[in-house]
Structure 1
Amino acid sequence: MGTWDKRGDMVVHEVEPYNAEPPPGALLDQITPLDTFYGRNHGPIPRIDAASWRLRVDGLVDRPLELSMDELQRRFPERTVVATLQCAGNRRADLMRFRDIPGQEPWGPGATSTACWSGVGLANVLAEAGLQAQAAHIAFTGADVSQEAYPPQPFGASIPAAKATSSEVLLAWAMNDQALPIAHGAPLRVVVPGWIGARSVKWLQRITAQAEPTDNYFQTAYSVLPPEADPHKTEPGDGITLGPITLHCAILRPDEGAQLPAGPTDVTGFAFAGDDRTVARVDVSGDGGSTWIHADLDAPENPWTWQHWRATLTLPAGETELVARAWDSTAAVQPESPATVWNPKGYANNSWARLNVTCHP
């Protein structure tokens, strides 16, 4: 077992803070095992004493709250949601092959995973606190302190009140029917289905209702900047602040660079539409996009989960580029080239999935 009870073949991009993804072939299950779930952190993982921990709910509310875990579990009905979390930098490595992105982790397609989350609905807790009419945003503050911000500050994020009060958003204390692991935010974390993982704040300490989005460094740090921008000299508002995940897909098998026999070859992957959309179709090509077939696509368990797909391609001898693209329930399709979506931080790469293999007679 590797660091933080993770499998030994995790692709570790950084040990401290811990940033790692599983190999693509480990993501073929609908529910990702705890030892396989990716880890994305901006600071050291904190260890919190659950007995003395309290959740504060304040800001534009009629009744500020301070809740222990016992009170949270006794006062509100438990809910369970299956949801996919995905780092905004997922598949950044594909953008880096087009043009370098200094100072960023080269995430492959594995910075995404799906779990069965259990806890209480954020909407229930906010209703108990009494949201005031001018509370347009709900801010979260974690216990993990990051040196990336200057001065250093706890990781934080906010989401619009309309999303925060929707039924799928949870304050989760369990993951795959087990107590939430330390590495994934114990004792309590936010789970914001359909939105980038950075909004699902771990090691949650405080929830604040406010009129504007949070001014936490990481709220606007997760933005898509124009290609010409210097990411070290930007101001809040210079980019498009990320919320809902963009439509994308990935090829999980075969592996990049695989040596395969020519002929029928099984290709598998996942697609994810983000927000409350679903994937309607996945096209797969065995000749770099000249011709396409429709993949067999799993139905979504709900709008907030990935959908696995599979296809059998007949591949000729020699080098071949496999390509996959997804269409969502609004008929949007992924852009063809990473050149279209390249940005200085490498976020939200939703260009076609591409993978090179060599087939021998």
Structure 2
Amino acid sequence: MNDRRHFLAQVASLSAVSAGALGVPCAWAQRSDYGSGRIVHRPFPLNSEPRPYQLAAGFITPQSDFYIRNHGTVPELSAEGYGILIETPGAAPTTMPLAELRSRFQRRTVTAVMQCAGNRRADMGKYKSVSGDAWQAGSISNAVWGGVGLGDVLRAAGVREAGDLHVAFAGHDDIEEEGEKFKYGVSIPLAKAMASETLVAFDMNGETLTPVHGFPVRMVVPGYAGVRSPKWLASIKVQDKPSDNHIQQKEYRLFSPDVTSQTADPSKAPFINDMPLNSALLMPSEGASIASGLTRLRGFAIATSERIARVEVSADGGKTWTQAALDVHPDAPWSWTPWTADVRLSKGRKELVVRAFGSNGGNQPATPAPIWNYPGYLSRSWHRVHVDVI
């Protein structure tokens, strides 16, 4: 019960505190490209999300408003002389200079959401205590990523799409977890690495990556949890098994509701890769006071394994529903789908709810009960926002 009270207190305090008010010691909190008015969960490792109104401002999220999820240090690196170590089966390791990577391969862009596996963890924690930072609905952002195809790089290195292989990435950031110090490392299946949407990225929204977002180069793996898109990319290795790094092996595993932190065996739980169908109400935000009458609701829905077929909103806690209008971007299948809905609100305390449906039958559970897991991953129940109508 004390853990639950602590979690709820964290949710409440973070809802009202900006980076400046926290007096964040991290230098990035003071920079103009960090953004302002954000919700800061931790100053180190720096973990921060934009306010709902910032996410609702447009289809593309400015780099300064993009959520920040770090596991350790923010390396200060130079593009000059930078290279990426590439290791493939049957070939000697080689370091490819960043300049060669840019000039040798065709430039590609992909519009894609980046999303933390812990997005909306705060909602799951209100049902039952979970571990980790109390992310609200903002550890997700949408950008136009620019770079080169990882598949192009691997094919040039002699890799063929055959066999049950994996591509492991290492970063330059220093991590410390459970008393263990190491560099960041994760992996993805070779098939996803070779897919056209997977990029070795240098820029977002036409701007050079800032250090906090991975300068000078990072991975972008659309449709997968953000953990699989490491920043400050140091090496790429094709191998016959997933990465043995702590992040890959001990974190970002999906446990069933009956498993606790005491009984958990990560080796028996699946890796979190694909992100599920989800939706969120961004405006009005939690605790807002709004005038009675016709009110426009605004938010997003996301489903990368299927398209969003329908979004519904409720102004009475889920008793009755209104279909929302979708802002569909068919040329951007890896991005989110903004939605709007006009509802008439009478005075009083109201629970606004949103739920989404996928083209292949995907939907969201009404409560976190069937999807609860102690790390608080993949929170995707109906999103509920409480407002005071005056």
- Which residue is 1:116 aligned to? 144
- Cα 1:41–1:296 change in 2 (3 A) is same
Q: Which amino acid aligns with 2:219?
A: V
Q: Which moved more, 1:285-294 or 1:127-136?
A: 127-136
Q: Which amino acid aligns with 2:152?
A: N
Q: Which amino acid aligns with 2:278?
A: H
Deviation at 1:150, TM superposition (A): 4.6
Q: Which secondary structure does the structure 1 equivalent of 2:63 belong to?
A: coil
- Which residue is 2:109 aligned to? 80
- Cα 1:124–1:63 change in 2 (3 A) is farther
1:27 equivalent to 2:55? Answer yes
Give the whole-Å Cα distance in 1 for the aligned partners of 2:346 and 2:220.
44
2:314 to 281, 285, 290: 285
Are the equivalent residues in 2 in contact too, given 1:61–1:131 (CA < 8 A)?
no
Q: TM-score, normalised by structure 1?
A: 0.95
> For structure 2, which runs of at least 5 residues remain unmatched after alignment?
1-19, 21-28
Deviations for 1:190-216, whole angstroms, at most 9, x for unmatched residues? Answer: 000011000001100111101111111
- Which residue is 2:81 aligned to? 52
Deviation at 1:151, TM superposition (A): 2.3
1:246 equivalent to 2:276? Answer yes
2:169 to 140, 146, 159: 140
- Which residue is 1:333 aligned to? 363
Q: Which moved more, 1:218-227 or 1:289-298?
A: 218-227
Are the equivalent residues in 2 in contact too, given 1:135–1:209 (CA < 8 A)?
no
Percent of paired sites with the same residue: 41
Deviations for 1:28-66, whole angstroms, at most 9, x for unmatched residues? Answer: 211101110000001011112222321011032546431
- Which residue is 1:107 aligned to? 135
> For structure 1, which runs of at least 5 residues remain unmatched after alignment?
none
- Which residue is 2:216 aligned to? 187
1:167 equivalent to 2:196? Answer yes
Q: How does 1:191-230 map to 2 (within 5 A)?
A: 191-220=220-249, 221-230=251-260
Are the equivalent residues in 2 in contact too, given 1:250–1:270 (CA < 8 A)?
yes
Deviation at 1:237, TM superposition (A): 2.3
Give the whole-Å Cα distance in 1 for the aligned partners of 2:167 and 2:90.
11
Task: Quote the RMSD (CA, aligned, Å).
Answer: 1.6
Q: Which moved more, 1:276-285 or 1:52-61?
A: 52-61
Q: TM-score, normalised by structure 2?
A: 0.88
- Which residue is 1:67 aligned to? 96
- Cα 1:174–1:61 change in 2 (3 A) is farther
Q: Which amino acid aligns with 1:145?
A: D
1:321 to 341, 351, 355: 351
Q: Which secondary structure does the structure 2 equivalent of 1:332 belong to?
A: coil
Q: Which amino acid aligns with 1:306?
A: W
Q: Which moved more, 1:255-264 or 1:144-153?
A: 144-153
Deviation at 1:69, TM superposition (A): 1.0
Deviation at 1:233, TM superposition (A): 6.0
Q: Which moved more, 1:345-354 or 1:239-248?
A: 239-248
